Structure 1
Amino acid sequence: MSKEVKVPTLGESVTEATVGEWLKKPGDPVSVDEPIASLETDKVAVEVPSPVNGVMGEQKVAVGETVEVGALLATIEDDVAAGESTSVEPREAAAPAEQAPAPASTASDERKDDGTLEDTAPAQAKVHDPEATQTLSPAVRRAVLEHGVDPSTIKGTGKDGRLTKEDVLAAAAEAKAAPAPSSSAPAPSPSPAPAPAATGERREERVKMTRMRQTIAKRLKSAQDTAALLTTFNDVDMTAVIEAREKFKDTFAKKHDIKLGFMSFFAKAACLALKDIPSVNAQIEGDEIVYFDYVDISVAVSAPNGLVVPVVRDADRKSFAQIEKDIADFGKRAKDGTLTMEDMKGGTFTISNGGVFGGLMSTPIINPPQSAVLGLHRIEDRPVVRDGEIVIRPMMYIALSYDHRLIDGREAVTALKTIKEAIEDPMRMLIDL
């Protein structure tokens, strides 16, 4: 008896998805609600759970194929049928070994997942197959091959212990930093040296764009084609914020169980600016302008498959601590691939922090249908003039890209200046200036 697994409802107005990866292989035991596949939609990855306990049956579609809501994905076999099918294969595989048993001195018994024993010999050691024990995403698989690491020796930090690209890169860096073995240690048994790579070899690799990457490309290009994009810049002296963080970080973390970061300061400063300049917190719909009396800030977060923008709702009404908690939760769930459609829905303004990657200055692109985005960058010590003297201050360039169809230059510059003043004098955020 088998149970069909179909593509679940993916969210409002989302009718299809792409099979990103299979998390279970035919013959693998599965429990009810355990994820068996990951589907990529336009915004997030959606895991498909097993409806029953049993064993993974036939996979009806391959990785990379597009499926619609309600389409058949796979089947789950019940435990009895699965037990009958798996009880024969090990005996058939063991038959040659019974006809020609290996000497006791060169063979060992290895227990399979299904409880049977398999004879293994060092002279005929099996080649390690990373996918035999875990499913690797294309990005992780490429990283494994490029750096020559064994994925079975790496502890995954992703969802359900899965490997991420960052895990592989960290393991590769650790392997390079490890000291060479001592000359007094026994020399390993000789093995054939790998053939040297051909010098000057040029390679190409074609990888199909994920559905999320295709959507990002379409939306960003649409923003350029539709909006009248313009960017205004300013720089911010981060001294006051850095001193406030240093002074209160321990007390803040102890009371709220979260670190005090820069994003909450900029979110609250942006709320002040958006209240003062309503057009920066508005959007165009047809021949109408929609103004919002609330601030829902989309925060750009880096995920394994691309940039996502979950929304901190009612940021203007939330405390610093709650904003920090929301952003930290989004970052963790983006890495684990557990963000939902609801997390991305809406948003009236976006903050993108390119400084975490070392960016000095950029012109961010708005997130349609929003009309403005604030870009943050790295902090670096620079000489500036204060009270007629040249001093060193931790400075950051900030940028506001906006839709000139709706926002005039004066309004954009004023909004960015308001953010600058609030960051340089955080007291303004407390007394609403």
Structure 2
Amino acid sequence: MTDEGGQLPRQRRHTLFFLEAVRDFAPVFLDTEVDMSRVLAHRAAAAEREGVRYAVSAYVLRAAGRVLAAHPDANAAIQGGPRRPRVAHYPFVNGKLALDRTLEGRRVVLGTVVPDLQDAELSVVQKHIDRVRDGDPEVLEDFEGIRRLHRLPWAEGRRAFRQAAGSLASRPHLTGTFSVTSLGHRAVDSFHSVGGTTTTFGVGRILDRPVVRDGQIVIAPVLRLSLAFDHRAIDGAEAADVLTEVKEVLESA
């Protein structure tokens, strides 16, 4: 039996409000392959030495934070139509990480913003991820705004979300200056996502693939990393620089 007259679960309201708010985004999509040999070696050594299991997304957040600090136009936010666009540049790099969580019995996407990634150490990034990933979304302060939004009537919640998302001053603290989203825990090789920021990195799974090293074909763990960028804010050449430099940071970890 289908529920043709049912209402959308209120736990997903923030997702719909977000999708409405990013309609002006002008997306272009890039992707590359990253040899993750050094990342996985570092990850294994840290697990043995420190008892810490670093998430792949932590490495991507840290790498992108350092790269975007050198690309202020890619770390900016744009607002408004072609007649009167406004651009804000930020002296810090905040990364939004999308998480698959359960809130009030409903599986939803929740985002957490990891601040000051321009100089954050990997351990600090991982501690933030652990706290939000393992904490209870029903009580975590990080998601109080989302819970409050769900309690509001539809029209009032929609208006409140649009007001918050429309502020260039508050946006980097709500949605980050860039985004990372990962489906690499499942059988997803690559995907492209629009995170509402000038750049969004999509992280797929790591698989053994043939690569060329020193003229020889070898098998290495390869990550397919995508980048969606807002063409209103930057052009393809700079977006390609950003993706290439993130790849280089990860491969030299």
- Tell me the TM-score range normalised by the shorter chain: 0.7 to 0.9
Q: Which amino acid aligns with 1:421?
A: E
TM-score (norm 2): 0.78
Q: CA deviation at 1:284?
A: 1.0
> Do the aligned partners of 2:96 and 2:179 also contact (CA within 8 Å) in 1?
yes
Q: Tell me the alpha carbon deviations over residues 170-222 of structure 1, each in whole angstroms, 9 at most, x when there is no partner.
A: xxxxxxxxxxxxxxxxxxxxxxxxxxxxxxxxx32454212342331242244
Residues 1:361 and 1:334: Cα distance change in structure 2 (over 3 Å): farther
- The equivalent residue for 2:123 is 321
- The equivalent residue for 2:47 is 249
Q: Secondary structure at the match of 2:195?
A: coil
Q: Which structure 1 segments of 5+ residues have no match?
A: 1-202, 427-433
Q: Which amino acid aligns with 1:215?
A: H
Structure 2 CA distance for aligned equivalents of residues 272 and 218 of structure 1: 30
- The equivalent residue for 2:202 is 375
Write out aligned runs for 1:184-333 (5 A): 203-206=1-4, 207-223=6-22, 225-253=23-51, 258-286=52-80, 287-304=85-102, 305=106, 306-333=108-135
Write out aligned runs for 1:358-369 (5 A): 358-367=187-196
Structure 1 CA distance for aligned equivalents of residues 175 and 225 of structure 2: 24
Structure 2 CA distance for aligned equivalents of residues 332 and 221 of structure 1: 29
Q: Which runs of 4+ in 1 moved over 4 A?
A: 334-337
> Do the aligned partners of 1:366 and 1:402 also contact (CA within 8 Å) in 2?
no
Residues 1:356 and 1:420: Cα distance change in structure 2 (over 3 Å): same
Q: Secondary structure at the match of 2:8?
A: coil
> Do the aligned partners of 1:301 and 1:334 also contact (CA within 8 Å) in 2?
no
Structure 2 CA distance for aligned equivalents of residues 215 and 272 of structure 1: 29
> Do the aligned partners of 2:193 and 2:202 also contact (CA within 8 Å) in 1?
yes
Q: Which has the higher contact order (CA 8 A, sep 6+)?
A: 2
Q: Which structure 2 segments of 5+ residues have no match?
A: 147-172
Q: Secondary structure at the match of 2:248?
A: helix
> Do the aligned partners of 1:303 and 1:337 also contact (CA within 8 Å) in 2?
no
Q: Tell me the alpha carbon deviations over residues 373-422 of structure 1, each in whole angstroms, 9 at most, x when there is no partner.
A: 11111001111222222211111110111110111100111000011000
> Do the aligned partners of 2:66 and 2:117 also contact (CA within 8 Å) in 1?
no
> Do the aligned partners of 2:97 and 2:113 also contact (CA within 8 Å) in 1?
yes
Q: Tell me the alpha carbon deviations over residues 322-349 of structure 1, each in whole angstroms, 9 at most, x when there is no partner.
A: 1101011111235556343469735211
Q: Which amino acid aligns with 1:265?
A: Y
Structure 1 CA distance for aligned equivalents of residues 101 and 46 of structure 2: 30
Identity across matched positions, percent: 26
Q: Which amino acid aligns with 1:238?
A: M
- The equivalent residue for 2:243 is 416
Aligned Cα root-mean-square deviation (Å)? 2.1
> Do the aligned partners of 1:303 and 1:334 also contact (CA within 8 Å) in 2?
no
> Considering only CA atoms, is the larger Rg found in Structure 1 or Structure 2?
1
Matched, 1:389 2:216: yes
Structure 2 CA distance for aligned equivalents of residues 366 and 340 of structure 1: 17
Q: Tell me the alpha carbon deviations over residues 240-265 of structure 1, each in whole angstroms, 9 at most, x when there is no partner.
A: 11111112322223xxxx43232222
> Do the aligned partners of 2:212 and 2:218 also contact (CA within 8 Å) in 1?
yes
> Do the aligned partners of 2:93 and 2:177 also contact (CA within 8 Å) in 1?
yes
Structure 1 CA distance for aligned equivalents of residues 175 and 227 of structure 2: 20
- Count residues in correspondence: 217
Structure 2 CA distance for aligned equivalents of residues 283 and 411 of structure 1: 15
Q: Which amino acid aligns with 1:319?
A: E
TM-score (norm 1): 0.47
- The equivalent residue for 1:119 is none
Q: CA deviation at 1:362?
A: 0.8
Q: Tell me the alpha carbon deviations over residues 153-174 of structure 1, each in whole angstroms, 9 at most, x when there is no partner.
A: xxxxxxxxxxxxxxxxxxxxxx
Structure 1 CA distance for aligned equivalents of residues 247 and 44 of structure 2: 20
Q: Which amino acid aligns with 1:269?
A: A
